[in-house]
Amino acid sequence: MLRIMALRQIYRHGTRWAEILSVLSKYGLADWIDRLGLEVARDLIKGPTGEAIARLPWTTRIRLALTELGPTFIKLGQLLSTRPDVVGVALARELEELQEHVTADPPEVVKEIISRELGRPLEEVFAEFHEEPLASASIGQVHRARLKTGEHVVIKVQHPDIEGKLLADLEILSGLAFLAERIPDFQIYRPMSVVAELRRTLVREVDFVRELRNLQEFRAHFEDSPDVRIPRAFPELSTKRLLVLEYLDGCKLTEQDRLKELGIDFDEVARRGAQAYLKMIFEDGLYHADPHPGNIMVFPDETIGLLDFGMVGRLDDRLRERVQELLTALVSQDSERLAIIVAEVGATPISLDRAALALDLADFVAYYGHMPIEQFDLAGALTEMIEILRRYRIVLPARIALLLKTLIVLEGTAQLLSPRFHLLEVIRQYRRKVLWHVFSPRIALRRAQRTYWELQSLLEVLPQALRDVVQQLRNGTFDIHLDHRGLEPSVNRLVVGLMTSALFLGSALMLAHRVPPLLSDLPLLGGWLSENMGSISAPGFVGISLSAIWGWRLWRAIRRSGRLDRH
């Protein structure tokens, strides 16, 4: 069934398939040239800007390939940059550099889309409309405007037919992921689940109503905050493809010179921003998941403004408690507790060596736990912990991976303002508040209610389940199914080894007893072979040769699997 679906996708999107395969083959050929070390051929394949692809690192080649393939694949790369536990830290860091530079739509096209979405001419709603866009990304572009009522706003409008283009590319990606699942080298990257996660992300991003709701929820959480400003939305002017927001006239963190002219206290702004994010994570369970400098503004009174709420993270009560326990174990240097939490939160392989994991985490905690706060690098610590998890094939839930990535980016953004800033110091100061929040009566009551409903659900299904088991035992229909994972290759090798041994022994007996026909009896063999090997049994010679070939193949397969002399 899946093969038929893949063929249908190729038929429907044949031109796009050809374009994607052409780009992938170009960068794949450059990788092949690089591995063989063919210096003469290194400069033959050029990238979009004229650089020799084969001379670039493999991580850069992947980033360039995704960039050349367009918006959907750029989004895929940005998603993978949040999953260093899947693709590795080196590739995740390279994919962080993916930028969305999409040609802006003409003003007449944008005006026509806005008028169609509003159901009335643009001039009836806006007193001014700036035709030059502030930015243009893969999903849409942003324009400044002024309402008839006088408010200065920004209009976020989708590109025409962007949803159809993204869905077409997602179908093609599903076909590629289906093929990649059958290649052992790609299985560790879980291509099918990554594409499914990308589909969920893109479906959310092309629905501006969802972003509007996120924005309203953030405004409710920071309604009384003197430190954080969230732009006001205009729901009556917003649709699935159109979003109208308040224009915030502040300085972005990238405008360092302007911030210095305003006399901004960088240390204070970094501290306020970090505390706001810790509130979002540990108290609200909803946080802004893209804290790069372009999405954060600073105002003359040193308040902070947040922009772009298309990418947010959510943590339910149970997952938030796990995150709190994980950070508490990290801060308190409890390696055993840290190993238990990591194994419970992540998807662990059956063959996980928990003792070795605990030992590695103990070394990790011992190294970072006794480091002075002014030298502590939280981003480096989280990165190293992710590398440990990847080494043990532990895959974190997408929400946890996104949170860890957000903390890493947050510390980097804060240190852009204040190089002396350390997020761990703020977390330690915030720890008492977190503990009070964890053990507060309201949280304890909510936890008790959740436990009550789970027990009630269990008590409802348990009697019937026990009756079914007893009935199956009484009727003799109770079965136990065992799943022997990874046993088939071992059985196949055992069978081949037994057959090879039997063939070798039988052939050796035929050689010893000179079982006819002999080599000298074969008319096609003569001359030197008949004179020197004529008394050798022909079937014994063939059998010995075949057993040698089979034995060599078996030895080579075991060596390639890496399990010849390893427990």
Enzyme catalytic residues: 290
Q: Could you give the CA distance from residue 357 to residue 353 in angstroms, rounded to a whole number?
A: 6
Tokens of 148: 């008839």
Q: Could you give the CA distance from residue 224 to residue 203 in angstroms, rounded to a whole number?
A: 32
Q: Which helix (H) or strand (E) holds 364?
A: helix 354-369
Contacts of 176 (CB under 8 A, 6+ apart): 20, 191
Q: Could you give the CA distance from residue 467 to residue 456 in angstroms, rounded to a whole number?
A: 18
Tokens of 192: 């099918």
State which amino acid sits at residue 187: Q
Q: Could you give the CA distance from residue 313 to residue 310 in angstroms, rounded to a whole number?
A: 10
Q: How far is CA 180 from the centre of its chain?
A: 16
Q: Could you give the CA distance from residue 265 to residue 280 in angstroms, rounded to a whole number?
A: 23
- For residue 145, list its beta bridge partners: 129, 153
Q: Could you give the CA distance from residue 357 to residue 342 in angstroms, rounded to a whole number?
A: 10
**Beta strands, E only, 435-492:** none
The 3-state DSSP class for residue 27 equals helix
Instruction: Label the pairing between strands 251-252 and 296-298.
Output: antiparallel
Tokens of 41: 């051929």
**Beta strands, E only, 83-182:** 126-129, 135-136, 140-147, 152-158
State which amino acid sits at residue 113: I
- CA 203-208-209 angle, 5° bins: 100
Dihedrals phi, psi of 155, to nearest 5 degrees: -115, 120
Q: Which of 371, 391, 396, 393 is nearest to 381 (CA)?
A: 371
State which amino acid sits at residue 194: V
Whether a cis peptide bond, with omega within 30° of 0, leads into 517 is: yes
Tokens of 304: 């902070």
DSSP 103: P
- CA 355-329-418 angle, 5° bins: 125
For the chain, what is the radius of gyration of the CA atoms?
A: 32
